């Protein structure tokens, strides 16, 4: 499984994903189309958004990869326009990085 993380990784979810065997890449900057493409979103299984201010990257990523699952791992609310495109909204205060990684690896 391949995952692209967009946004800062303050809770170290990338390491937890890596430890379960998920290949992790990162979309830099504002996670715009070129950054998502450079991070391998076309072949990714999951986009993990850790900053809701980057919500515009969700429809861009879905446009590039119809089969993409979107996980939002952030405490802030996701804007309405992006909520319908996210598969899971997880608060880091309620779900540890390890629990999220284990769940994703089990799929």
- Cα–Cα–Cα angle for 103, 105, 107, rounded to 5 degrees: 75
Q: Which helix (H) or strand (E) holds 51?
A: none
How high is the mean pLDDT of the chain?
A: 94
Q: What is the average pLDDT across 17-38?
A: 96
pLDDT above 90 as % of the chain: 92
* pLDDT above 80 (res 16): yes
Q: What is the average pLDDT across 19-37?
A: 96
Q: What is the average pLDDT across 19-47?
A: 96
* pLDDT above 80 (res 107): no
Task: Judge contact between 79 and 21, C-beta under 8 A.
Answer: no
- Reduced to 3 states (helix: H, G, I; strand: E, B; else coil), residue 30 is coil
Q: What is the average pLDDT across 42-65?
A: 96
Strands 46-49 and 2-6: parallel
Residue 55's CB is within 10 A of a number of other CB atoms, namely 23
Q: What is the average pLDDT across 1-19?
A: 95
User: What architecture is the 2-96 domain classified under in CATH?
Assistant: 3-Layer(aba) Sandwich (3.40)
């Amino acid at each position: 499984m391949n995952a692209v993380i967009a946004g800062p990784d303050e809770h170290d979810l990338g390491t937890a994903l890596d430890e379960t065997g998920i290949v992790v890449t990162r979309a830099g900057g504002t996670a715009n189309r070129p950054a998502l493409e450079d991070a391998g979103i076309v072949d990714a299984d999951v986009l993990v958004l850790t900053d809701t201010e980057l919500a515009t990257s969700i429809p861009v990523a879905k446009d590039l990869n119809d089969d993409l699952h979107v996980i939002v791992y952030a405490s802030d609310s996701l804007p309405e326009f992006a909520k319908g495109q996210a598969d899971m909204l997880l608060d880091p205060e309620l779900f540890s990085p390890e629990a999220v990684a284990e769940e994703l690896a089990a799929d």
